[in-house]
Each structure stands twice: as C-alpha cells, then as structure tokens.
C-alpha cells in the first residue's frame, strides 16, 4: 500500500472487485465520491498534510448510513433509500482521511437468512458451498478476498465475530457503547454494537481510537479507547473457561484453540481455569432480549410480514410470542450476568475461548459439521458469542488455524469493559508469532491490501 497513491489504490481495488466472484456478491455498490476523496488524499500526501488514515479505502455494512449512498439493510422493504448524512462512525473515519469505498452485503436487517431475497447469498471465498457467516456477510467475504483494507460491521449476537471466524480474518466487538450507533439501523437497542473488521489485529488497533467515544445522538455511547502495548505474553494471565464454550465444538476448533493456548503459555503467559457461571441462562436471556426488541422494531411493518425473508420473518414471529414479563426478566437479570462475568475474570487479564464451534457452515443445508454431526446454524452460530453481546464485554475474534477440512477456525479473546486495547494487544502479540491471519483463499492475490 505504501508504494501506491490513494488514486491508484482505489482504481486497483475497483478492478479487483469487479473481476472477482466474491466482489460481485459481497459489494452491493461503490460509494459516490470515493474517487474525489482519493484525489484529495493524494494532494494531502504531497503537501505533507496527511491525516491518520489518509487515503485508506474501507467498506461499510449495508445497515450503516453513508451520505449519498443507497442503504438497503438487505431488505425489499427499504426501497431506494439514499442516506442524507454519514453515521457517526463513518464521519469519524472520513475526518481521519479514510475513504468510504463500498457498501457491503448484509442479511436482512442484520437478522435474516443466508439467502437474502434482495441481493442473494454471499458465498465463502474459501469454499463456495459454504457461508461467510452472518450478518456482516459482505464485510467478512470482502476482507478474506482482499478487496479492502478494513470494513465496518455490527454485532448483536455475533455478527462481526462469526464472519471473522469463518473467513479467517480479525474482528472486534467493542465494549458496549464505546463506538456510537447513531446512523446505524437498529436490530436490538440493548445488544447492538458497531465495530471494525480487518485481516490484522494491528489494523483494528489503529482504527479504534478514531471511531470510539461518545456521540450526542447516541445516549448510550461513551468511554474512551485505551491503547495497550505488550512486549510479549510474559506475566499475562489468560482465563480458560471450564464450561460451555467447548460443549458444542468441533475437534478441529478445540485443537487449534488448545495449540494457541500452549503457544501463549510457552511465551510466558499463565493459564488460569475460570468458571464462567451460568452461561446457558445468560445466552437464553440474550436471545429473549434480541427477539423481543427485533419484533418491536418491525411492528409497524407487520402488515407486510410476507416481504421479509424466511429467517427474519421467523425471528420476528418468535419475538412477538415473548411476553413482556419474560422480556423484562431477561433485562432484570442482565446486571447479575455482568457481575458474574466480572467476578469470573477478577484474577485474569483476558479470557480465551474457542471461536465458533465449527468450520463455515453449508449453504444448502444451513448447518455446521461438528465432529461428524450436523448442527443447525441457530444452535451453533451465536453459542460462543452471545454472552458478550448480552454483557457488553469486548471480544476479539482472530484466526487460530485450520479445521479438519482445511477451512479457517478461530479463537476469541475477551476483555473486561473498556479494555478493548488489551484484547487487541493480545491479538497483535499472537499474530506476531503466527501467520494464520496472513492466509488467503488460493485464488486471491494478497498484494497491496
């Protein structure tokens, strides 16, 4: 990238995208004004006035507003809506010199099925019979195919971390509220998070200080990103959960996770077994909150329920069956779950869990192979991720190797609230010792991104 001008880089990424099967699925549209912004960035570099992310193109999940771009939320219900201004995260990246380049595919309203009725399925660049994972489908695929340096995604039950795991990239679900959600179509006002996705944890660490911090239009936002540097793993206390995260988990995922733990221990980390508590109840309560708020959000469109795709429609109908009492009880128990997780982490710096419990799932059957048994998407995709949406703790997904069939697998690094920087520092230290994050699909050129 350093040898290319922003104009040349943008042109090459455009050419790569239109010539790529992944690009045609993952990229819904190029964002107006990107070329003008690239010329402005080139001028700033020549004049010595470059900003922190000057001239770096990025992709935007199609639920996040970008001024002048069509934002569909992957739905037939949104028509041809053109955003009139940038979401807060996009505006902050623009101000730092980054260039909004492409709108990227999502499942419908970030909760639908892989087979989107408006833009189709986004196939996994490593194997077209498999899915990228939802709901930041286009973000995960575009990064795996090296069509972009970084992208924005959202995470309500795992939607940054699942495609990161299945596409062999790195993705951070920040601490709840650290990155504002103004200008982002909501799924669940209690659980929604916005965060960055990239190939390298170091890139996420460069992005987070720019997008973090309170925004006046998002009353739930606040806090600051604290950059952290590690000189290695010496003295780091890594919590290893004793329950839940391995219960529905393929041997290939577990093996890569255990190998990663052994590597970090050999470099001086101390592994500490921790009891994560009643994760099953917190997981169920997370689903109760998500489905209830989803149904409430789309209640005005219920007379057009047949226009939703099968996955979104099913979840909306499920949410409408949840009683107010059950929803409020799920919210009432949330502070206790936060306290229990904080107590479990009291004597460690971070947790390290297996990522998603199997390699990328199959598009035809909508299931995942777990040690030879087929497990439905909904029973495995959010299993190891929902807890941290419900509690709001930061969680980083990063590649940990290859599974039994050679597809990417991942592990998850979880920090205490507002210790996102430490999660990323652990990720950077791990990636300094491994090359899993440098792997790409066989037909993908890895130069300049």
Examine residue 444 and state whether it is found in any structural domain, yes or no: no
- Mean pLDDT over the full length of the chain: 97
Give the burial string for 391-426 (b: 16+ CB within 10 Å, else e). Answer: bbbbbbbbbbbbbbeebbbbbbbbbbbbbbbbbbbb
User: How far is 388 from 395, CA to CA, in rounded Å?
Assistant: 7
With vertex at residue 432, the alpha carbon angle to CA 427 and CA 433, rounded to the nearest 5 degrees, is 105
Sign of CA dihedral 436, 17, 14, 33: negative
User: What residues make up the domain containing 101?
Assistant: 6-438
Q: How many domains does the chain have?
A: 1
Cα separations (Å) of 215 from 99, 117, 168, 208, 365?
Answer: 21, 34, 32, 15, 42
Express each pLDDT in 209-257 by its tens digit. Answer: 999 999 999 999 999 999 999 999 999 999 999 999 999 999 999 999 9
The answer, yes or no, to whether residue 304 has pLDDT greater than 60, is yes
Given a contact cutoff of 8 angstroms between Cβ atoms, the answer to whether 241 and 411 are in contact is no
The answer, yes or no, to whether residue 2 has pLDDT greater than 70, is no
Give the burial string for 85-107 (b: 16+ CB within 10 Å, else e). Answer: ebbbbbbbbbebbbbbbbbbbbb
Express each pLDDT in 318-337 by its tens digit. Answer: 999 999 999 999 999 999 99
pLDDT score at 45? 97
Examine residue 280 and state whether it is found in any structural domain, yes or no: yes
Residues in CB range of 272: below 8 A, 6 or more apart = 237, 238, 239, 240, 347, 348
Q: Which helix H or strand E contains 129, and what residues bound it?
A: strand 127-131
Examine residue 445 and state whether it is found in any structural domain, yes or no: no
User: How far is 89 from 30, CA to CA, in rounded Å?
Assistant: 18
Examine residue 54 and state whether it is found in any structural domain, yes or no: yes
Given a contact cutoff of 8 angstroms between Cβ atoms, the answer to whether 238 and 436 are in contact is no
- For the chain, give the percent of residues with pLDDT over 90: 98
Strands of 224-281 (E only): list them: 237-241, 270-274
Examine residue 359 and state whether it is found in any structural domain, yes or no: yes
Q: CATH no. for residue 216? A: 3.90.1300.10
Q: Is the pTM of this model over 0.75?
A: yes
Average pLDDT rounded to a whole number, residues 131-156: 98
pLDDT score at 1? 38
Examine residue 114 and state whether it is found in any structural domain, yes or no: yes
Tell me which residue of 448, 337, 325, 327 sits closest to 391, measured CA to CA: 337
Examine residue 1 and state whether it is found in any structural domain, yes or no: no
User: How far is 72 from 113, CA to CA, in rounded Å?
Assistant: 16
Which residues belong to the active site?
61, 135, 159
Examine residue 387 and state whether it is found in any structural domain, yes or no: yes
User: How far is 290 from 340, CA to CA, in rounded Å?
Assistant: 21
């Amino acid at each position: 990238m350093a040898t290319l001008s922003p104009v040349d880089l943008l042109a090459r990424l455009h050419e790569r995208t239109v010539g790529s099967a992944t690009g045609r699925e993952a990229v819904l549209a190029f964002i107006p004004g990107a070329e003008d912004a690239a010329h402005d960035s080139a001028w700033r570099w020549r004049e010595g006035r470059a900003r922190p992310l000057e001239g770096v193109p990025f992709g935007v999940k199609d639920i996040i507003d970008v001024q002048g771009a069509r934002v569909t939320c992957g739905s037939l219900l949104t028509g041809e809506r053109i955003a009139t201004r940038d979401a807060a995260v996009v505006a902050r990246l623009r101000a730092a010199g980054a260039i909004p380049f492409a709108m990227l595919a999502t499942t419908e309203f970030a909760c639908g099925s892989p087979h989107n009725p408006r833009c189709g399925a986004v196939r996994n660049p490593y194997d077209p019979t498999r899915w990228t994972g939802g709901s930041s489908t286009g973000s995960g695929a575009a990064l795996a195919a090296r069509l972009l340096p970084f992208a924005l995604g959202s995470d309500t039950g795992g939607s940054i971390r699942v495609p990161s795991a299945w596409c062999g990239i790195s993705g951070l679900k920040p601490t709840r509220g650290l990155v504002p959600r103004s200008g982002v179509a909501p799924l669940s006002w209690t659980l929604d998070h916005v965060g960055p996705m990239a190939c390298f944890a170091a890139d996420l660490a460069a992005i987070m200080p720019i997008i973090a911090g309170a925004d006046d239009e998002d009353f739930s936002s606040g806090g600051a990103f604290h950059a952290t540097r590690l000189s290695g793993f010496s003295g780091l206390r890594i919590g290893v959960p004793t329950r839940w995260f391995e219960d529905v988990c393929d041997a290939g995922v577990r093996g890569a996770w255990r190998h990663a733990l052994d590597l970090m221990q050999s470099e001086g980390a101390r592994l500490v077994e921790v009891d994560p508590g009643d994760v099953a109840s917190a997981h169920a309560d997370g689903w109760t909150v998500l489905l209830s708020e989803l149904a409430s959000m789309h209640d005005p469109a219920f007379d057009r329920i047949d226009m939703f795709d099968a996955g979104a429609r099913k979840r909306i109908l499920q949410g409408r069956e949840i009683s107010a009492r059950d929803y409020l009880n799920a919210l009432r128990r949330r502070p206790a779950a936060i306290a229990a997780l904080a107590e479990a982490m009291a004597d460690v710096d971070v947790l390290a869990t297996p990522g998603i419990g199997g390699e990328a799932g199959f598009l035809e059957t909508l299931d995942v192979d777990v040690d030879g048994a087929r497990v439905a998407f909904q029973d495995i995709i959010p299993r190891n991720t929902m807890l941290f949406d419900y509690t709001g703790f930061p969680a980083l997904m990063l590649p940990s190797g290859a599974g039994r069939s050679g597809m990417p697998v991942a592990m998850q690094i979880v920090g205490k609230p507002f210790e996102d920087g430490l999660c990323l520092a652990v990720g950077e230290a791990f990636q300094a010792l491994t090359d899993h994050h440098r792997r790409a699909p066989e037909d993908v050129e890895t130069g300049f991104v």
